[in-house]
Amino acid sequence: MCGIAGLIWKGGVTSDIGSEMTQMLQALKHRGPDSTGFALYGKPDDDVHILRFKVAEQEEMRTGFDIHRQVIERKAAVDTRLEELGAEIIKKDDATEYAFRYLFKFGGDLKRLIDFIEDLDGVEILSVGKGLELIKDLGDATVVSDQYGLKGFKGTHAIGHTRMATESDVDIRSAHPYWAYPFNDVSVVHNGQLTNYWTMRRDLERRGHRFMSNCDSELIAVYIADRIDRGDQLEDAMRLSIDVIDGVFTYLVATADQLGMAKDVMGAKPMVLYESDEFVGLASEEVAIRSIFPREIDTWDPYQGEVKVWAA
Amino acid sequence: MGSINTSHDMGLHEEQLAGRTQQRFFSASEEENYTYPWSYEVDFDKTAEFDAADMEITDINNKIRALMKSGHGTITVQNPRAKHSLGVGILNRLNLNFEGSLGYFGCGLIDGANVHISGRVGWSCAENMMAGKVVIEKNAGSLFGAAIRGGDLVCKGQAGARVGIDQKGGTIIVGDSVGAFTGFMMQRGRMIILGDAGDNLGDSMYDGTIYVGGKIASLGVDCVETDMTDLDKRYLEGKLSQYGMAAPNGVENMIKLTSGKQLWNYDNLEPSEKKLVL
């Protein structure tokens, strides 16, 4: 089933989007309790990149003794490789024993740097961006939000996902949101099933795109990344995706300063939209929007085949 | 009463249903069809209201039942806050008001209640309603009135995709546009759409009638346009005026759609079945 949610404050207004997205996703817990993910967009700093990565799955941490030594080694190897290519690490935060948040300055080829780090065994980059911070882990929204200290996160927009695993495993690599590797600040959440996944995946892999999981939703992130790489605007890429991607889907995409939604031509998956002069909220169910706006509000369901994009 | 083909006698079906219809009507004398021995005796003048803001779904539905049991015939629920499955399974006479919006499956499986919702409703509102009236002031989600068998279901705003899918009776009225696959596999009843309709309207419908006031994106398989009769116009004017609604371009300019019945193959055997017979 899966639940997805998105919010954007217009006109560059910042708010405690960490708490807001936690509340929205907690209200959607019944749509999928397996894992929860957040893509939060803070105010970007032009010089500094934010890197979110993990060096092990949560499940691995419970099996055996070696892994606790390995995560330290893997993290040290990431540090070495960052420095080897000339990235200047400004700050290192341990979000958990196996997931980290780095701030770094880098003027070179970002894709090469990312590929070089991900080449390490067990290392997966969750996101790289100037505003984007991508957090995902097992458990419901409150568990993940508390684990990673997301309450109080100031930002302009966010997307989030509560997952009911159907097509792939319950682990962090199959959890949403997906970062559109290797593009700064692009992330995707999806509710649905894609039926031409393998055909499209093989095509995209031949173009040199990387897939970290067997989760069909990752395809949307990679597809959007591919279209942006070829020079498409976000909205055009999304419109095209409705014709090209087969299956049932409603998905949300966020970039450094935009939030977009797209719905398949069958209108098979739900999406409720609330829009006011200062705020746009989207969710699989209205209860999620009501969790931050308890008062009476006017909402509607976008129709099949619709694409909408809002700017922060 | 007692006439079996009441609606046929009124002339509502003469143009299409030449001898082959799925319409079957209960006789009013079959009293057991209309009786719930466990229903509550309620007094419409005895009113009650409560705030559902901090209540769980089950508690809200139980509270409505408890109030009916104590004879309350008019119940107002404040702050439903888009919770799911509210007001379901009410098999009783009752005036029920929701001051706010409902989530998914609102007022499903009801028989006889008279419901007013001041906000919007999510997916599958009034699914399988048997009789009664549900009026929604704002928008509705997809699967609005799925498989309803009777009563009036009215949405004054727009509704999502698959409105009245598998409709088996009753009337669905939507004040604005509807999404794709509206009236999919409709079997009986009437649907009045005052706005535009999405793709595949009335796809594979068996029977029943759809009236559309706006533009139609495309018709589904075996859904055909037919002539509006004076009776249709009188019916539409009467029905819409009951709810204070009107067709934007007048009822005479509405489009009437029914089943072409080209997909009706009940008399023919499948090729594999023919082999067995021979």
Contacts of B177 in chain A (CB under 8 A): 303
d(CA A210, CA A125): 12
- Residue A296 is nearest to which of B83, B119, B141, comparing CB atoms? B119
Kindly report the nearest CA distance between residue A215 and chain B, in angstroms: 27
Look up tokens 């970007």; give the residue: A44
B67 CB neighbour count, 10 Å cutoff: 23
Residue A19 and residue A65 share a domain: no
d(CA A132, CA A2): 22
SS3 per residue for A29-61 = HHHCCCEEEEEEECCCCCCCEEEEEECCCCCHH
Residue A257 and residue A290 share a domain: yes
Q: Give tens-digit pLDDT for B3-61.
A: 445 555 655 554 444 445 555 555 656 555 567 888 899 999 999 999 999 999 999 99
Residue A227 and residue A126 share a domain: no
Least confident of A157-161, A162-166, B28-32, B140-144: B28-32
Give yes or no for B239 touching A (CB within 8 A): no
Give yes or no for B145 touching A (CB within 8 A): no
Q: Do B157 and A300 count as a contact with CB atoms less than 8 A apart?
A: yes
d(CA B239, CA A120): 70
Q: Do B84 and A285 count as a contact with CB atoms less than 8 A apart?
A: yes
Give yes or no for A296 touching B (CB within 8 A): yes
Query: Cis before residue B248, ω within 30 degrees of 0?
Result: no
Residue A187 and residue A294 share a domain: yes
CATH number at residue B76: 2.160.20.60
ipTM of the complex: 0.90
Residue A51 and residue A40 share a domain: no
- Residues of A assigned a catalytic role: 2
The answer as to whether B236 is a domain residue is yes
Give yes or no for A3 touching B (CB within 8 A): no
Residue A220 and residue A103 share a domain: no
- Residue A299 is nearest to which of B84, B120, B181, comparing CB atoms? B120
The answer as to whether B1 is a domain residue is no
Kindly report the nearest CA distance between residue A26 and chain B, in angstroms: 14
Please count the structural domains in chain B.
Answer: 1
Of A64, A97, A130, which residue sits at a domain end? A130
Give yes or no for B112 touching A (CB within 8 A): no
Residue B209 near residue B258, CB atoms below 8 Å: yes
Give yes or no for A278 touching B (CB within 8 A): no
- Residue B104 is nearest to which of A265, A285, A289, comparing CB atoms? A285
Q: What is the pLDDT of residue B14?
A: 47
Contacts of A304 in chain B (CB under 8 A): 161, 179-180, 198-199
Q: By residue range, what is the domain housing residue A166?
A: 3-44+138-311
Q: Give tens-digit pLDDT for A283-303.
A: 999 999 999 998 889 999 999
Of A82, A102, A130, which residue sits at a domain end? A130
Residue A79 and residue A126 share a domain: yes
Please count the structural domains in chain A.
Answer: 2
Q: Give tens-digit pLDDT for A152-161.
A: 999 999 999 9
> Does the pLDDT at position B69 exceed 60?
yes
Q: What is the pLDDT of residue B272?
A: 65
pTM for this structure?
A: 0.90
d(CA B33, CA B76): 29
CATH number at residue A124: 3.30.70.60
Alpha helices in chain B (DSSP H): 6-9, 57-69, 230-242, 271-277
CATH number at residue A36: 3.60.20.10
Of A90, A105, A130, which residue sits at a domain end? A130
Q: What is the pLDDT of residue B15?
A: 47
Residue A106 and residue A204 share a domain: no
Q: Do A285 and B158 count as a contact with CB atoms less than 8 A apart?
A: no
Kindly report the nearest CA distance between residue A107 and chain B, in angstroms: 49
Residue A231 and residue A242 share a domain: yes
Question: Residue B207 phi/psi, 5° resolution?
Answer: -165, -175
Write the CA distances from B78 to B96, B118, B265, integer angstroms: 11, 10, 50
Query: Cis before residue B37, ω within 30 degrees of 0?
Result: no
Residue A287 and residue A252 share a domain: yes
Residues paired with residue B136 on neighbouring β-strands, in sequence order: B117, B155
| DSSP H or E run through B212 | strand B209-212
Q: By residue range, what is the domain housing residue B238?
A: 6-277
Q: Give tens-digit pLDDT for B193-244.
A: 999 999 999 999 999 999 999 999 999 999 999 999 999 999 999 999 999 9
Residue A179 and residue A290 share a domain: yes
The answer as to whether B84 is a domain residue is yes
Residue A306 and residue A290 share a domain: yes
Q: Do A266 and B139 count as a contact with CB atoms less than 8 A apart?
A: no
Percentage of residues of chain A with pLDDT beyond 90: 86
- Residue B139 is nearest to which of A266, A268, A300, comparing CB atoms? A300
